[in-house]
Amino acid sequence: MKIKRLLILLLTLIFTTNFVFAADDSKENTEQIVSLEPLSSSISESTMNNFYSSSVFKPYTLSTHEVQFSYTKNLINAIDPTPSSNRTASHLPGTRGTNQLVIYTPFYGTRTNTNEYGAEAIVVGNTVTELSGADSPIPADGLVISGHGRAKNWINNNIKVGTKIYIDLDKKLVYTYTTSESYIFESQKKITEAEQMIAYYRENYTDYNWKVPTSYIDDAKNYLKKARKNPEHVQKYSKLAIEAANDALKSVIPYKYGELKGIWLRPTEKNPQDIVKTIQRVKNAGIDTIFLETYFHGKTIYPSQVMKDYGATEQYEHFKGFDPLAVWLKEAHKRDIKVHIWFETFYAGNANINYTPHSIIAMHPEWGNRMRKDADALQPTRSQSEHNGYFLDPANPLVQDFVMKLIKEVTTKYKVDGLNLDYIRYPQIVSVTEDTSWGYTEYARREFKALYNVDPVDIRVSDPMWLTWSNYRRGKITQMVKKVHDYCKQRNLYLTAVVFPNRLSALNTKMQDWKTWSDNHYVNGLTPLFLTCDSKTANSMMQDVLRATSSAKTDIYAGLFVTFMGGAEEDLIRQIHEARKLNTKGVIIFDYAHFANKYAKTLATSVFSTRSAAKTIVQQPPQNQLNNNNKTETNATPQKKKKKGFLWWGRK
């Protein structure tokens, strides 16, 4: 076993790459470079030995009176993977490949760096303490089990909070055990969590009615007591305790006036009747704002004269015959629901340009973004980690003109309530190296060389000019944002942008400098995506964004990914609670395609519903909400006296 541990350390030392990043202590991104050394380089043999001697690496043994209900095992594909040790996944976030089951230990780093297309379980000791979805924090005294595809399904079907874990390093197997202690652990955790939420609202909101959620907690505690006293019936009573605790969580958070309650929605409805059904379902869930995807994969849902003028497909083929955008706006406004245009700025779709001659990227292949390794290729590069799709070149003024024409068309032809820029960035860089970086188009290379007398193809990550090349690309994105801002300001149109919450990662892997947008008032709001089911991780990410922006300048709306990742209903409630605690301006759910009935029902129970059995209206709605005249709500940080802007009720 000792040799095994030393081998893991040796491989990590050999294959871990030194990355160079721009520091984030200057909004001009002036030159200051920091090198991220391999975490394992400072790890002693004794530290490795201590970690691999922990309980998770020992066969699990049932305690006295503990009952085992289920047991599974699965093959581990990689432990602390690197591009060299897991070559098939070298181009993917977290170096986690298709259908792979991966273990991340503290020797890998502080986070898994994975994307949203998986499931993850956080293990402390030998017990699963949290279920997450992506980029999970790796506990210092534990690890993360991460899966994609078939491995994701295995995690979802066999691992829950409280599950006991054993990892056999020699056989590269992970074993899971669901026992009576697993159910008791989960029950107690949820009871404690609900009690903490009740305590928070009782302390901060004087008219908060706590009796109904407390009654559910009392039920949960009684069931838990029975579970502990009756080992032979522990599964039955523990499940009842968990159900009661879940009911407490669903009813604990009151309705809040003045916050945006939104959802991102890609339309699939092909007639007005189906559109109305969808809008009514959204309305019934308590959602008041739809971010309607209107331009995506390089096509519009409405008949576009701009696209026609460019010789591209005039409208999505399955919408031909009617104008869905006009129907969405009419029917949504009729029900007091606002509609913001969700707009894929530089993403051009993943349809092969050889078979789609009228796609915008096929009509103008010179507009397509390129990696350095494809700088001289005839066709643009496809981003393998992003649906194998094409991106447009932000540096090309013709691309920016095209984007602006589309934005002007949709916002003048239709009465919309706002504009939400998505994919306002370069394609994702999975590992910061020259060959896998983006932006090496003919136009960008020519312009950069004219400015700095060097072809960016010849710049290495370690060169001082790398920062200049990075700032050139970041500046092109910011230039596009400013153009849209200037136009929206003229029309009094509310402008938001989808961003990634990790500031340095956004700067270095996507060339997205959203702090500069905020500092210069280029956007009214940001809609950062929090790709996790874990509320603690979401809270940490939210705080990172809030610290990097000024609440007096930029509204922050928390983009929640729980539904997309298939998380529990309670996970959604927890994250809304965290957003409320941090005084964000609202929450937006990603996305409607994954908005199962269980989520809609949970939101309509309390947190998004104005219906009150107790009729305990604490305060009338403030008049600073976003309205149909596209006015922004106040940017002022809520004062203590505003803590009463809630409505609470319990279920009958």
Cα distances (Å, whole numbers) of residue 535 to 189, 409, 437, 539: 14, 39, 32, 6
Residue-range definition of the domain harbouring residue 357: 255-430+476-648
Show Cβ contacts of residue 559 under 8 Å, excluding neighbours closer than 6 positions. Answer: 264, 498, 527, 528, 529, 530, 587, 588, 590
Question: For residues 97 and 24, which has the higher predicted lDDT (pLDDT)?
Answer: 97
- Per-residue pLDDT of 473-490, as tens digits, reads 999 999 999 999 999 999
Q: Is 451 within a domain?
A: no
pLDDT score at 48: 82
Q: Is 230 within a domain?
A: yes
Pair 271, 322: CB distance under 8 Å: yes
Domain co-membership, 310 together with 224: no
Q: Is 467 within a domain?
A: no
Pair 121, 522: CB distance under 8 Å: no
Show Cβ contacts of residue 452 under 8 Å, excluding neighbours closer than 6 positions. Answer: 465, 468
pLDDT score at 205: 84
Q: Quick one: pLDDT band at residue 209, thresholds 50, 70, 90?
A: confident
Pair 81, 90: CB distance under 8 Å: no
Domain co-membership, 507 together with 593: yes
Alpha-carbon span 467 to 29, nearest angstrom: 8
Q: Is the pLDDT of residue 638 over 70?
A: no
Pair 651, 605: CB distance under 8 Å: yes
Alpha-carbon span 433 to 455, nearest angstrom: 16
Domain co-membership, 205 together with 265: no
In the numeric block, the tokens 């270095």 are attached to: 508
Q: Is the pLDDT of residue 14 over 70?
A: no
pLDDT score at 646: 53
Computed from CA positions of residues 399, 24, 533, 157, in that sequence, does the dihedral angle turn out positive or negative?
positive
Computed from CA positions of residues 167, 168, 171, 172, in that sequence, does the dihedral angle turn out positive or negative?
positive
Q: Is 448 within a domain?
A: no
- Per-residue pLDDT of 415-433, as tens digits, reads 999 999 999 999 999 877 7
pLDDT score at 433: 78
pLDDT score at 455: 98
Q: Is 73 within a domain?
A: yes
In the numeric block, the tokens 């009690």 are attached to: 195
Alpha-carbon span 370 to 377, nearest angstrom: 8
Q: Quick one: pLDDT band at residue 373, thresholds 50, 70, 90?
A: very high
Alpha-carbon span 185 to 163, nearest angstrom: 9
Domain co-membership, 159 together with 213: no
- Per-residue pLDDT of 58-75, as tens digits, reads 999 999 889 899 999 999
Domain co-membership, 207 together with 289: no
- Per-residue pLDDT of 348-359, as tens digits, reads 999 999 999 999
- Per-residue pLDDT of 457-466, as tens digits, reads 999 999 999 9
Show Cβ contacts of residue 304 under 8 Å, excluding neighbours closer than 6 positions. Answer: 314, 315, 406, 409
Domain co-membership, 607 together with 571: yes
Q: Is 562 within a domain?
A: yes
Alpha-helix residue ranges (DSSP H) falling in 285-359: 305-309, 324-334
pLDDT score at 632: 36
In the numeric block, the tokens 């008791």 are attached to: 184
Alpha-carbon span 611 to 604, nearest angstrom: 9
Domain co-membership, 231 together with 266: no
pLDDT score at 44: 72
Q: Is the pLDDT of residue 641 over 70?
A: no
Domain co-membership, 154 together with 225: no
H/E stretch holding 509: helix 503-509
Smallest Cα–Cα separation from 217: which of 239, 238, 243? 243
Residue type, 568: A
Domain co-membership, 99 together with 117: yes
DSSP letters of 150-217?
A: HHHHHHHHH--TT-EEEEETTTTEEEEEEEHHHHHHHHHHHHHHHHHHHHHHHHH-TT---HHHHHHH
Alpha-carbon span 521 to 554, nearest angstrom: 7
Q: How many CB atoms lie within 10 A of CB 271?
A: 11
Domain co-membership, 266 together with 379: yes
Long-range contacts formed by 30-38: CB under 8 A, 24+ apart: 31/464, 31/467, 33/467, 38/12, 38/13
Share above pLDDT 70 across residues of the chain, in percent, rounded to a whole number: 87
Least confidently predicted of 397-406, 475-484, 525-534, 618-627: 618-627
Q: Quick one: pLDDT band at residue 231, thresholds 50, 70, 90?
A: confident
Q: Is 450 within a domain?
A: no
The model's pTM: 0.85
Alpha-carbon span 448 to 443, nearest angstrom: 9
Residue ending a domain, among 201, 236, 252, is 252
pLDDT score at 332: 98
In the numeric block, the tokens 């090309």 are attached to: 396
pLDDT score at 26: 37
Residue ending a domain, among 145, 171, 197, is 171
Residue type, 100: Q
323 token code pair: 């104008």
Residue 527, helix vs strand vs coil: coil
Question: Across residues 53-60, what is the average pLDDT?
Answer: 94
Domain co-membership, 303 together with 365: yes
Q: Is 419 within a domain?
A: yes
CA 544 to chain centre: 14
Q: How many CB atoms lie within 10 A of CB 29?
A: 20
Alpha-carbon span 250 to 572, nearest angstrom: 10
Q: Quick one: pLDDT band at residue 634, thresholds 50, 70, 90?
A: very low
Burial 105-139 (b: 16+ CB within 10 A, else e): bbbbbebbbbbebbbbbbbbebbbbbbbbbbbbbb
Give me the number of domains the chain comprises. Answer: 3
Domain co-membership, 620 together with 587: yes
Question: For residues 436 and 575, which has the higher predicted lDDT (pLDDT)?
Answer: 575
Share above pLDDT 90 across residues of the chain, in percent, rounded to a whole number: 75
